[in-house]
Amino acid sequence: MSKYSFLLIIITFTLCSCEEYFETLSDDEIYSVSLLKNIQSDKKIDYLRIDLMHGGSPFKKHEDGSYKRSLEIPLPKDENRGSVFPGCQPSYCGYRIAYIERDQWNFVTNKEELELFIGEIDNEHEAFLIAKINGYEIDTALEGNGFKKADFGYKLKVMKYETCPESKEGFIVHIYNDGTFKQIKSLGHYYKSTNCIVY
């Protein structure tokens, strides 16, 4: 074997061994409601539920799969207006966390309250929620879906989605144990289209 062939083998082996291994969330786990259900809050909670909000009013999913207006928790009007991770274009929906702590109802209705509710990062689901709070999404594709536990917290693969033209760009971000977010680098676009998604 020539000196150059041996050197090429060493370089190839080194480059291959440098690639980090990321675990992925399952297709069911990438949705906001699934991530929210996996929060391990530092608060002493007696009861917790996650409401799907449509048009500012809470709905609860029933056993038959339908969503019916929930009247179990009477709220002041201003509490009904807020929600986290809005979507459902062209109409409006989002999620609200309702919980009982020290015999009192409390509500998480915006991203700032959600960060405080999560507190210290206990698992990958909470880490992905911090990334979502900072404007990143999770994809079913490996380029936008990955997590790796680190001494400081979590390394994540996430993505940014644009509707016009439709595109997906992968990113590596760090979520520290205290909830601090830091974008590390772009992995480039892994999906580009000339189509525009218009709501």
Q: Model confidence over 88-134: pLDDT tens digits?
A: 766 678 888 888 999 888 889 899 999 999 999 999 999 999 999 99
Residue 3 inside a domain? The answer is no
Residue 7 inside a domain? The answer is no
What average pLDDT does range 131-158 have in this prediction? 97
Q: What is the CA radius of gyration of the chain?
A: 21
Total number of domains constituting the chain? 2
Domain final residue pick, 71, 94, 118: 118
pTM metric for this prediction: 0.80
Residue 48 inside a domain? The answer is yes
Question: Which of the four pLDDT bands, split at 50, 70 and 90, describes residue 16?
Answer: very low
Q: Are residues 128 and 77 in the same domain?
A: no
| Domain span including residue 88 | 43-118
Report whether 80 contacts 34 (CB < 8 A).
Answer: no
Q: Are residues 141 and 187 in the same domain?
A: yes
For residue 147, the SS3 value is: strand
Q: Are residues 134 and 199 in the same domain?
A: yes
For 166, other C-beta atoms within 10 Å of its C-beta total 14
